[in-house]
Structure 1
Amino acid sequence: MRKRNSALIGIILLVLSIGVVFFYKYSDQIFLPKQPSSGSKKEIPVVDPIKDQIQDMSLKEKVGQLVMVGLDGYEMNINSQKLIQDYHVGGFVLLKRNVKDSQQLLDLVNTLKETNSINKIPLFLAIDEEGGRVSRMPEEFKKMPTSQKIGEHNNRKLSKRVGEILGKEVKAFGMNMNLAPVLDIFCNPQNTVIGDRAFGDNPDLVSKLGLQAMKGIQEQGIISVVKHFPGHGDTSVDSHVGLPIIGHDLERLMVFELLPFSHVIDNNVDAIMLAHILLPKLDPNFPASFSETIISEILREKMNYDGVIMTDDMTMGAIADNYDISNMAVKSIQSGCDIILICNDFSTKEDVLKAIHSAVETGIISSERIDESVYRVLQLKKKYSLTDQQVESVDVQGINSEIEQLYKDYPDL
């Protein structure tokens, strides 16, 4: 009996020992809270400050960001002040009529910034500085070579260097956007509006040199707006005075006119300007600047571009003489464009701003469509850290020294 009890006690002790070992070894697993499966795991919402900013904006502020305007004269005027303070326009483009000399241009840019300081969002301050005959810089600056001359050299380093100097000129005044380079392929001798503004008549040449010019501008902290999509090189009509018509189909465009644009899209282009040209084989009713086929189906979807798109000046003859500008501005936004450019006539600027505002209120343009474009605009302004900080002075001599050295290094420019 005593032996049987001893054996029983031994068995009990053995079982207890095994239990203790098991407890200490696996208790951490037994009492751990059950982890949710990967399918049921809650995602932490990603904070998007731009979306938050858009939610806090009024409709008037949103619409303003989708319009860039020109102004008259050498100084800030009451109309431009109203466009900033009452309509919250997203930016200004300065033309030759706005430039007298370096000090005057600097004062004008600084005044625009100071006036806009009441708004939360800084201005796009743009200028056309392509080099050659399309230059808005004050006369104190030495002239830059044409794109055609750069194309004749067929030199990537030269094109980028020219882009860098152009960017420095724009940056010197506190501006932040250059409407350049031109990516049109000059393939029509009657096309005087493009001519020597193009790098050449070969898609590969224009692609590689245009990309380098764009990079040179960007590396100075300046937004580069390439132009004129889908290609203004094979026209004989100047869109400033009439509506050019091009008979090419998409198959031809994809292997020729669109190649330079495709190349910069693959290399982080910031913004693309639309041309006021009609391509009946793509859209028989509307020019590229407000054609849904060209903007959304081709540029956005087929070419996979999700950056900023802006029109050329809507007061040019191609549009003003053939269409209602306000209605077509609405159509352009509907079709996927982000920024409407209006260089002339204060009443037209007001009409366009009011028309877009009304179109959103009445559901002609959805709030989602507006927010999509506002997001792109604010994203680009954030990318380049835009501010309304003023510039004290301009080093004309320093930039001219770089231009002089450029011509020394390339004497036949």
Structure 2
Amino acid sequence: MQLRWSSIMLVALFIVCFAAGCSKESPAAPPVKAPEETAQPEETSAHSPPATGSDPEEEAPSQLDGMTLEEKLGQLIIAGVKGDAPTVEMKEMLLSQYVGGIIFFKNNLSAKPKDVADLVNQLKAWNRTSGQAPPLFFSVDQEGGRVSRLPGVHALPTARAIGKTNDAEFAAWVGSSLGEMCRLMGMNMDFAPVLDIHSNPDNPVIGSRSFGTTAELVTRMGMSALKGIREEGVIPVVKHFPGHGDTAVDSHLDLPVIGKDLKALQAMEWLPFVEAIRQDVDVVMVGHLLLPELDPELPASLSKVLITEQLRGALGFKGVVVSDDMTMGAISKQYGMGEAAVLTIKAGGDLVMVAHEYENVTKVLDALKQSIQSGELTEQRIDESVSRILELKNKYKLSDETPIEYPDQKLAALNEEIGKRLAAMGLAPAAAAGQ
């Protein structure tokens, strides 16, 4: 009898506990929607940056914790290389200097896409051997028109010709084609589209690279092209903030000066960049332009006023800021390579582009390290930029693990599509520049 009573009490106790557990306050489960109410997923390209359960912003700090100072500083560099085949210098730059990205020019890109694939695959393999190195940015200026670097593909029309069609859908197709040709040859970052407004007919460097002479047209065409590139899983980089359209000097040769004040810039040059930021562009390139009404001393690419106070502050940009090439005359004639790199990081920039000469990469890395030792820069400031860079690489799922395949057949199909589309539009492929 005693045993039977104890069993009854245990069962009763279990029932009471279970009921109490079920009665705890908790959010109600959302009602299941009827089929007609179920939200449909947005249409995305098969090559868009994939959505994942992990947050790139959460992954970056753990990656950062395991990096040495030298490895962090290397991530701040996008470097140029010599030649179109793997070299000892390329290998050392990855294994000893931990450079985080490569920019390719015409002389690096053989006439055979297969050779481009071989070069990219070798660089990936070397980067993997350096331990837990983050994957590399493989970047290129593939704008279409006269700035077309990649071999084996039809050069698409100039931005000016695209703008004249006034067809945003066509601009999106051009962007998609640019992204596809980049992706097929292993490029994961494209320095395009150009968002400069061609408002000065004496401009020697922008010209046909601009979609047009009005902010409305440049914005509409530029956002369509940006979307097309991004949907191919390639990182678009808008350029050249704060606006290179109203200049009469080529910054490759010397420093252009723009005399406009803040209100004038906000009413014209900045409008396409504002919209790009609203559409969550990941990377903005800052040009070598002096705006004395905002900063009478430093070019935009080295200016805290332009990068931190205006681009990041007033315009609200949260992504990665990359400088234009520091070896251009606008900078190299007035600043040492290391000095310029320190200034752009102090100003709030993240990626320093050093497009020519291996010794310039060494100068930049030495200067950055010395600036930390002297207290001019802090490692915390370096960590801010490296975190943004790692988040971007995680977001686009960049990887050095999988080699790219030889793209010949896919490029042939793309060329056929480009030819048909341009013929239908009454346009012809543009001649590419030899840069």
Q: 2:369 aligns with which of 346, 357, 376?
A: 357
Q: Which runs of 5+ in 2 are unaligned?
A: 1-12, 25-54, 429-435
The one-character-per-residue Cα deviations of 1:34-66 (angstroms, maximum 9, x if unpaired) are x9xxxxxxxxxx993311111111000100001
Q: 1:175 aligns with which of 170, 180, 187?
A: 187
The one-character-per-residue Cα deviations of 1:137-163 (angstroms, maximum 9, x if unpaired) are 11x322210000010011110000000
* Match of residue 390 from structure 1: 403
* Match of residue 233 from structure 1: 245
Q: 1:126 aligns with which of 134, 139, 156?
A: 139
* Match of residue 64 from structure 2: 54
The separation in 1 between residues aligned to 2:278 and 2:205, in whole angstroms, is 28
Q: Answer yes or no: is 1:136 the counterpart of 2:149.
A: yes
* Match of residue 377 from structure 1: 389
The one-character-per-residue Cα deviations of 1:293-350 (angstroms, maximum 9, x if unpaired) are 0000000000000100000000000000111121111011011000000011111110
Aligned AA (1:367): E
Cα-Cα RMSD:
1.8
Deviation at 1:82, TM superposition (A): 1.2
Q: Answer yes or no: is 1:115 the counterpart of 2:130.
A: no
The one-character-per-residue Cα deviations of 1:1-40 (angstroms, maximum 9, x if unpaired) are xxxxxxxxxxxxxxxxxxxxxxx9xx98xx99xx9xxxxx
* Match of residue 100 from structure 1: 110
The separation in 1 between residues aligned to 2:268 and 2:237, in whole angstroms, is 20
* Match of residue 6 from structure 1: none
- Contact 1:311/1:339 (8 A) holds in 2: yes
Aligned AA (1:51): P
Deviation at 1:81, TM superposition (A): 1.3
Aligned AA (1:408): A
- Contact 1:165/1:402 (8 A) holds in 2: no
Deviation at 1:392, TM superposition (A): 2.1
TM-score (norm 2): 0.83
* Match of residue 21 from structure 1: none
The separation in 2 between residues aligned to 1:385 and 1:49, in whole angstroms, is 12
* Match of residue 401 from structure 1: 416
The one-character-per-residue Cα deviations of 1:111-132 (angstroms, maximum 9, x if unpaired) are 1111111232110000110000
Q: 2:95 aligns with which of 71, 75, 85?
A: 85
Deviation at 1:364, TM superposition (A): 1.2
Q: Answer yes or no: is 1:284 the counterpart of 2:299.
A: no
Of structures 1 and 2, the larger Rg is shown by 1
The 3-state SS of whatever aligns with 2:324 is strand
The separation in 1 between residues aligned to 2:155 and 2:301, in whole angstroms, is 31
The 3-state SS of whatever aligns with 1:226 is strand
* Match of residue 275 from structure 1: 287
The separation in 1 between residues aligned to 2:427 and 2:397, in whole angstroms, is 38
* Match of residue 368 from structure 1: 380
Q: Which runs of 5+ in 1 are unaligned?
A: 1-23, 36-45
Say how many residue pairs are matched. 373
* Match of residue 433 from structure 2: none
Deviation at 1:405, TM superposition (A): 2.2
- Contact 2:59/2:391 (8 A) holds in 1: no
The one-character-per-residue Cα deviations of 1:49-105 (angstroms, maximum 9, x if unpaired) are 311111111000100001110011111222221110001111000001111221221
Aligned AA (1:58): T
User: For structure 1, which segment, 233-242 or 72-81, has the greater mean C-alpha deviation from structure 2 after superposition?
Assistant: 72-81
The separation in 2 between residues aligned to 1:335 and 1:58, in whole angstroms, is 23
Aligned AA (1:62): K
Deviation at 1:134, TM superposition (A): 0.2
The 3-state SS of whatever aligns with 2:317 is coil
- Contact 2:77/2:353 (8 A) holds in 1: yes
Aligned AA (1:390): P
Q: Equivalent pairs: percent with the same residue?
A: 42
Deviation at 1:192, TM superposition (A): 2.0
The separation in 2 between residues aligned to 1:358 and 1:381, in whole angstroms, is 27
Aligned AA (1:80): M
The separation in 2 between residues aligned to 1:364 and 1:83, in whole angstroms, is 25
Deviation at 1:412, TM superposition (A): 3.7
Residues 196-211 of structure 1 aligned to structure 2 (within 5 Å): 196-211=208-223
Residues 65-76 of structure 1 aligned to structure 2 (within 5 Å): 65-76=75-86
Which structure has more relative contact order (CA 8 Å, sep 6+)? It is: 2
The 3-state SS of whatever aligns with 2:129 is coil
Aligned AA (1:97): N
Q: 1:320 aligns with which of 309, 332, 348?
A: 332
